[in-house]
């Protein structure tokens, strides 16, 4: 996918999925690949100024490519929430604390002190009945080196499984439980989600697994069988199929689709602080 200038008013789609009709504003939005198989970089316009056709084009682009990068946005918390609310109602992870004065914004902050945990690829808030469709991070304070975020493509993870394994997963559900929150009692009950989910925008299927301490049981299997299967699928996802690695700059906005990606911070930035604001959109109940 080559870099594209989007003209206005012709109404015809092109092979990137961006419609030409941008609301009569002239050439605005440019799109280029962020990684070889995952992610697109969208520039040329402030997200606060996007037209409705551009929002729908971005919905399809992120659904297909997993991640959208909007450089140099420098959003206020109010602007960040308003942008995400154009895709779906805002949701929030139970059991975590919001940014004071902004109940829909979560602060993702660390000083590199968790480097021993390594990369922990996951999908956000999978332990609720309707996990978030989209997550976004706005970069507030970034270390001089390190602290990247990596994304892997769960379409690729599913499609690269053998037909036999794909058949085994058909109709199978995994139990998801809460972990990693300040108040896990806010989510007392586990939920069951399909091992493979269909994306409602693209119609493609993606492998839906996450950290083994959150994805804990395969329905109808013994504990040993569950552990072996989930461990294999997570390791398969963790093999960085279709990876995109984002190097942050202050003001960046990155939005991704939890239905077809996993992501993780890379905790390699030592004592330097790393602060990002997170806003998420509600999704549908996963279905096969």
Taking only the tens place, the pLDDT of each residue in 82-105 is 999 999 999 999 999 999 999 999
Which among 207, 119, 124, 152 has a CA at the least distance from the CA of 39?
A: 152
Tell me how far apart the alpha carbons of residues 236 and 121 are, in angstroms, rounded to a whole number: 12
- Whole-number Cα distances in Å, 1 to 7, 53, 173: 17, 20, 35
pLDDT tens, position by position, 131-181? 999 999 999 999 999 999 999 999 999 999 999 999 999 999 999 999 989
Average pLDDT (50-69) is 97
More confident residue, 84 or 27: 84
Q: Is 82 helix (H, G, I), strand (E, B) or coil?
A: helix
Ordered by where they begin, the domains of the chain are 30-288 (3.60.130.10)
Query: Residue 7 has which token pair?
Result: 């003209």
Average pLDDT (8-36) is 56
Average pLDDT (106-128) is 81
More confident residue, 36 or 117: 36
- Quote the pLDDT of residue 14: 43
pLDDT tens, position by position, 208-219? 999 999 999 999
Average pLDDT (180-192) is 93
- Quote the pLDDT of residue 20: 43
- Quote the pLDDT of residue 269: 87
Tokens 């606060």 appear where?
A: 48
Which among 147, 109, 150 has a CA at the least distance from the CA of 268?
A: 147
Tokens 């569950």 appear where?
A: 226
Range with lowest mean pLDDT among 69-73, 115-119, 221-225: 115-119
More confident residue, 248 or 241: 248
pTM of the model: 0.90
Q: 3-state SS of the chain: helix, strand, coil percent to 5?
A: 20, 30, 50
**C-beta atoms surrounding 24 within 10 Å:** 8
Q: What average pLDDT does the chain have?
A: 89
Average pLDDT (31-47) is 95
Tokens 């984002």 appear where?
A: 246
Residue 15 has pLDDT above 70, yes or no: no
């Amino acid at each position: 996918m080559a870099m594209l200038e989007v003209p206005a008013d012709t109404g015809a789609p092109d092979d990137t999925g961006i419609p030409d009709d941008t609301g009569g504003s002239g050439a605005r939005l440019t799109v280029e690949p962020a990684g070889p198989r995952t992610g697109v970089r969208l520039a040329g316009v402030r997200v606060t100024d996007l037209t409705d056709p551009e929002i729908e084009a971005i919905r399809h682009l992120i659904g297909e490519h997993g991640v959208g990068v909007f450089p140099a946005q420098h959003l206020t918390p109010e602007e960040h929430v308003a942008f995400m609310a154009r895709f779906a109602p805002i949701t929030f992870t139970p059991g975590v604390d919001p940014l004071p004065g902004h109940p829909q914004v979560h602060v993702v902050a660390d000083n590199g002190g968790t480097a021993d945990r390594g990369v922990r690829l996951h999908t956000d808030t999978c332990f609720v009945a309707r996990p978030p469709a989209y997550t976004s991070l706005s970069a507030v304070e970034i270390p001089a080196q390190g602290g990247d975020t990596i994304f892997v493509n769960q379409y690729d993870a599913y499609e690269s499984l053998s037909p036999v394994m794909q058949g085994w997963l058909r109709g199978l559900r995994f139990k998801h439980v809460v972990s990693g929150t300040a108040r896990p009692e806010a989510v007392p009950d586990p939920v069951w989600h399909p091992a493979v989910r269909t994306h409602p925008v693209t119609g493609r299927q993606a492998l839906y697994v996450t950290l083994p301490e959150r994805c804990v049981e395969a329905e109808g299997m013994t504990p040993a069988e569950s552990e072996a299967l989930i461990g294999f699928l997570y390791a398969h996802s963790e093999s960085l199929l279709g990876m995109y690695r984002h190097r942050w700059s202050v003001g960046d906005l990155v939005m991704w689709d939890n239905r077809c990606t996993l992501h993780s911070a890379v905790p390699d930035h030592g004592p330097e602080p790393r602060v990002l604001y997170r806003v998420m959109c509600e999704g549908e109940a996963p279905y096969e």
